[in-house]
C-alpha cells in the first residue's frame, strides 16, 4: 500500500519469512488468484484432522539452562533437572537442535530442556531466544557488574559453590530472579528438587492467615503435612501466620517452629510491655526483641524456601509485599495490630498489620509454579469464613484486644474471599471458643489445625500426583 504498517507480528519461535516487494505481490494479486487461494485454504481446513494437543500453548514448555560464567556446571545441573522432571512429566533434552528439531520435541513432550554454557555464543543465543523460561547458573559467587544478557533478568537463578549473604543480596538486586537456589557441587542432584518442582508446576505453596492466637492452628497444619511427607517449597503469611511461615522458610521442621512460637508467644508474653496509650497500648519492643533473637539478622534473600509476607502502608493505604531485607523487619511490619502496636517505620513507610487489607495473601504465591494451599482463620464462631454461629443468648462483649483485631479484619473480608477463590485447597481450622489473644490455648488450636489438615490431605495429594498431559495420551 505504500503506507506505514498498522499491525505487528512477533514470532515466539525461529520462523522462515518470505518477503515480497510491491511489484512481486502485484504480479499475482488479481481477484481470480486470491479467490482460488481463499477457496483452497478453506477446503484444506475442512480436510485436516484437529490437532492432538490443545491449541492453547502450555506455559514453560521450553526451558533454557544457561551458564553465566566459565565455572558454571551447566551440564550437571541440566542433567539433574531433567532426571527430576522425568519422574513426573514427559521431558527430554534433544541436544543441539534447529528450529524444526525443537518443534518436533515440543509436540511430544511436556518439557524440553536446552543446555548451553557461556562459551558457545551462537547456541546460547538460540536457546535464550526460543525459551519459555530461563534458568541461569553461576559458578562464581561474586556477581558481575551488569547482567550478561537481557533474559538473565527475571530468570531462575542457581548459585553453585556457596555465596555469602552479601553476595546473595547483590545477585538478587542485579537479576531480580523469579527464584534463587543455592547448591553445593556435591549435592546438585538432590539440591535441584525445588527448582524442578517449579518447572513442573508442582511446587507446593502454603499461605498462612493472620488471626492472633487462632493462627496457632498453623502449627498443627505444618505437623500434619510433614507427617504425610508433603514438602512445602513456598510459604507466605500475614501477622502471626507470617511468623510461622518465616520459621518454616528458614528450614525449621514442624517441631522447631512449634517450639519457637511457644517460647515467644506463649511462655513469654510479647504484648505485656504496656505504655501510656498516646500511640498504642503497648510499646512493641518485646516483640521486636524476640524477632531479632530468633532470626538473628537473616535476610529474606537467603532463606531455604521462598518467603513472602504482607503489611499495610498506613499513609498510602496499600498492601506491601516483603520480598527482601531482614526477616525480623518484615515480620515486625506485618504484626502491627493498629491500636495495640504503634506503626513500624521501615523504608520511609509506616507499616501496620497486613490483616487490615490482606489477611490471606494467596496472590503472592499464585501462578504457574504449582498449587497453593491456603489456611484460613475465621473471625466468627465457625471455621468457615463469613459464617455465623447460632447464639443461645445475648452476645458476649469481647476483650479490648479481640475488639481491635475483629474491627481490623473487617476491611480484609472482600480480599479474603478473592484469596479463597485463588487457592487450590483451603484448610479452615475450627477456632470456636478461642479468643484472639488467648495464646495459652495453643494445644487446642494445634489440634484443630491437625484435624482440618487431615481432612484436606486427599485433595492436596491429588494435586501433587496429577498425571502428565502427555503420559495420559500414552
Q: Is the dihedral of CA 146, 147, 153, 155 positive or negative?
A: negative
Would you state the pLDDT for residue 40?
Answer: 74
Q: Is residue 273 scored above 80 in pLDDT?
A: no
Q: Considering just the CA atoms, what is the radius of gyration of the chain in Å?
A: 27
Pair (264, 183) in one structural domain: no
Q: What is the pTM of this model?
A: 0.83
Pair (276, 410) in one structural domain: yes
- Report which secondary-structure segment, H or E, holds 273: none
pLDDT per residue over 7-55, tens digit each? 566 676 777 777 777 677 666 666 666 677 677 777 776 666 655 444 4
Pair (255, 281) in one structural domain: yes
**Of the given ranges (92-96, 279-283, 459-463), which has the lowest mean pLDDT?**
279-283
C-beta neighbour count of 151 within 10 angstroms: 18
Looking at per-residue pLDDT, the higher value among 362 and 418 belongs to 362
Looking at per-residue pLDDT, the higher value among 326 and 279 belongs to 326
DSSP line for 331-361: HHHHT--BTTBPPEEETTEEEEEGGGT-SS-
Pair (146, 290) in one structural domain: no
pLDDT, the chain, mean: 86
The residue out of 200, 219, 244 marking a domain boundary is: 200
CATH number for the domain spanning 442: value is 3.40.1090.10
Pair (190, 224) in one structural domain: no
Pair (166, 261) in one structural domain: no
Would you state the pLDDT for residue 147?
Answer: 95
Could you list the residue range(s) of the whole structural domain that residue 330 is in? 205-379+400-465
96 occurs within a structural domain: yes
pLDDT per residue over 184-203, tens digit each? 988 898 899 999 999 999 99
Would you state the pLDDT for residue 436?
Answer: 81
124 occurs within a structural domain: yes
Mean pLDDT of 248-254: 96
- Report which secondary-structure segment, H or E, holds 447: helix 442-464
CA distance 196 to 211: 34
23 occurs within a structural domain: no
Would you state the pLDDT for residue 116?
Answer: 97
pLDDT per residue over 441-463, tens digit each? 999 999 999 999 999 999 999 99
405 occurs within a structural domain: yes
Q: Are strands 179-183 and 318-322 parallel, antiparallel or unpaired?
A: unpaired
Number of domains in the chain: 2
Candidates 307, 370, 365, 304; CA nearest to 88 is 370
Q: Is the dihedral of CA 361, 365, 371, 373 positive or negative?
A: negative
Would you state the pLDDT for residue 163?
Answer: 87
pLDDT per residue over 137-156, tens digit each? 999 999 999 999 999 999 99
On whether the CB atoms of residues 76 and 188 are closer than 8 A, the answer is: yes
Pair (427, 343) in one structural domain: yes
Sequence-ordered list of residues with C-beta below 8 angstroms from that of 352, at least 6 positions apart, any chain: 311, 312, 314, 336, 337, 338, 341, 343, 344
22 occurs within a structural domain: no
Pair (195, 310) in one structural domain: no
Pair (91, 115) in one structural domain: yes
306 occurs within a structural domain: yes
Q: At 338, is the pLDDT very low, low, confident or very high (cuts 50, 70, 90)?
A: confident
Amino acid at each position: 500500500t505504500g503506507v506505514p504498517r498498522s499491525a505487528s507480528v512477533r514470532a515466539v519461535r525461529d520462523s522462515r519469512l518470505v518477503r515480497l516487494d510491491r511489484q512481486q505481490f502485484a504480479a499475482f494479486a488479481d481477484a481470480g488468484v486470491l479467490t482460488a487461494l481463499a477457496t483452497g485454504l478453506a477446503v484444506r481446513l475442512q480436510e485436516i484432522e484437529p490437532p492432538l494437543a490443545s491449541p492453547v500453548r502450555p506455559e514453560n514448555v521450553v526451558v533454557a539452562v544457561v551458564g553465566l560464567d566459565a565455572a558454571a556446571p551447566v551440564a550437571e545441573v541440566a542433567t539433574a533437572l531433567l532426571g527430576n522432571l522425568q519422574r513426573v512429566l514427559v521431558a527430554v533434552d534433544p541436544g543441539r537442535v534447529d528450529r524444526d528439531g525443537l518443534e518436533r520435541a515440543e509436540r511430544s513432550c511436556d518439557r524440553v530442556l536446552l543446555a548451553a554454557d557461556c562459551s558457545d555464543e551462537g547456541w546460547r543465543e538460540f536457546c535464550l531466544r526460543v525459551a519459555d523460561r530461563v534458568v541461569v547458573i553461576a559458578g562464581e559467587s561474586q556477581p558481575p557488574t551488569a547482567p550478561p544478557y537481557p533474559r538473565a533478568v527475571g530468570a531462575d537463578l542457581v548459585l553453585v559453590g556457596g555465596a555469602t549473604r552479601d553476595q546473595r543480596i547483590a545477585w538478587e538486586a542485579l537479576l531480580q530472579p523469579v527464584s534463587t537456589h543455592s547448591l553445593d557441587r556435591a549435592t546438585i542432584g538432590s539440591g535441584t528438587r525445588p527448582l524442578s518442582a517449579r518447572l513442573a508446576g508442582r511446587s507446593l505453596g502454603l499461605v498462612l492467615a493472620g488471626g492472633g492466637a487462632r493462627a496457632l492452628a498453623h502449627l498443627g497444619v505444618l505437623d500434619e503435612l510433614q507427617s504425610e511427607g508433603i514438602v512445602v517449597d513456598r510459604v507466605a503469611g500475614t501477622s502471626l501466620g507470617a511468623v510461622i511461615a518465616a520459621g518454616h522458610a528458614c528450614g525449621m521442621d514442624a517441631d522447631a517452629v512449634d517450639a519457637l512460637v511457644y517460647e515467644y508467644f506463649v511462655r513469654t508474653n510479647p504484648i505485656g510491655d504496656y505504655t501510656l496509650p498516646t500511640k498504642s497500648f503497648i510499646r512493641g519492643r518485646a516483640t521486636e526483641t524476640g524477632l531479632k533473637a530468633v532470626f538473628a539478622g537473616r535476610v529474606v534473600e537467603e532463606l531455604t524456601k521462598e518467603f513472602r509476607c504482607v503489611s499495610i502502608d498506613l499513609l498510602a493505604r496499600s498492601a506491601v509485599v516483603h520480598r527482601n531485607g531482614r526477616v525480623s523487619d518484615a515480620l515486625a511490619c506485618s504484626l502491627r495490630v493498629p491500636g495495640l502496636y504503634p506503626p513500624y517505620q521501615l523504608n520511609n513507610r509506616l507499616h501496620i498489620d497486613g490483616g487490615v487489607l490482606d489477611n490471606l495473601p494467596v496472590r503472592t504465591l499464585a501462578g504457574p509454579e504449582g498449587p497453593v494451599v491456603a489456611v484460613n482463620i475465621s473471625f466468627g464462631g465457625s471455621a468457615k469464613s463469613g459464617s455465623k454461629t447460632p447464639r443461645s443468648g445475648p452476645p458476649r462483649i469481647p476483650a479490648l484486644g479481640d475488639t481491635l483485631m475483629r474491627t481490623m479484619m473487617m476491611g480484609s473480608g472482600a480480599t479474603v474471599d478473592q484469596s479463597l477463590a485463588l487457592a487450590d485447597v483451603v484448610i479452615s481450622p475450627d477456632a470456636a471458643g478461642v479468643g484472639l489473644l488467648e495464646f495459652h490455648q495453643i494445644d487446642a488450636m494445634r489440634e484443630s489445625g491437625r484435624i482440618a489438615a487431615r481432612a484436606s490431605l486427599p485433595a492436596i495429594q491429588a494435586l501433587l500426583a496429577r498425571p502428565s498431559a502427555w503420559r495420559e495420551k500414552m
